[in-house]
Amino acid sequence: MRRQESGNAQGVINGIGVVTCVYVHPQEDRFWLIDDRIYDPQGDGKTKLDHLKDMRSVWVYQKGLPFTGVLMDSGYATKTVMLHREQMQKTYSCPLKTNRRVDDSAGTTPYQRVDSLTWTQAERKQGKPIKIRGFPKDHKVK
């Protein structure tokens, strides 16, 4: 047990950290747990991203699991992870934390927090291209 952030509880709770990878087959309406790891940074010195890399090695490179897309929570929405998914030519979807600095103005205004962006009705449905601070110069995500 350790103190950790919980999105469901909207705060810090006592819990067991688990990093999971679930395979979903939408046509068959089925899912399978592929891998899971106990998140214990004091015990093994690994971050959640380290566990993700370890799991990815197994299910992508060793087992050759076929997949087209990845759903991730905001803790995995890092430059390294997102660019790796693109390099693999896989789609991905993940929320950005509200304090993440982004630009939706094509460089005409300074970076601003995600939660301060304005959205049209169409953008709320379809998304909008943005540049995330720290990503390659002309790289945008939607």
pLDDT of res. 110: 94
In a domain, 57, yes or no: yes
Q: Is the pLDDT of residue 30 over 80?
A: yes
pLDDT tens per residue across span 118-131: 999 999 999 999 99
pLDDT of res. 68: 87
Residue 116 shares a structural domain with residue 65: no
Number of Cα atoms under 13 Å in the Cβ half of residue 45: 0
C-alpha span between 74 and 48 (Å, rounded): 12
In a domain, 40, yes or no: yes
In a domain, 104, yes or no: yes
C-alpha span between 130 and 48 (Å, rounded): 26
Domain count, the chain: 2
* Beta-ladder partners of 14: 3
Residue 110 shares a structural domain with residue 64: no
C-alpha span between 16 and 40 (Å, rounded): 8
- Which residue range is the domain that position 107 belongs to? 97-142
Residue 55 shares a structural domain with residue 11: yes
| Range with lowest mean pLDDT among 3-7, 52-56, 95-99, 131-135 | 3-7
Mean pLDDT of 74-96: 92
In a domain, 76, yes or no: no
Report residue 11's pLDDT band, with 50, 70 and 90 as the boundaries.
confident
Q: Is the pLDDT of residue 8 over 80?
A: no
Q: Can you give the three-state secondary structure of 49-96, one letter per residue?
A: HHHHHHHHHHHHHHCCCCCCEEECCHHHCCHHHHHHHHHCCCEEECCC
Q: What is the mean pLDDT of the chain?
A: 90
In a domain, 17, yes or no: yes
In a domain, 90, yes or no: no
Residue 60 shares a structural domain with residue 13: yes
Closest CA to 134 of 81, 61, 63, 89: 81
Report residue 63's pLDDT band, with 50, 70 and 90 as the boundaries.
confident
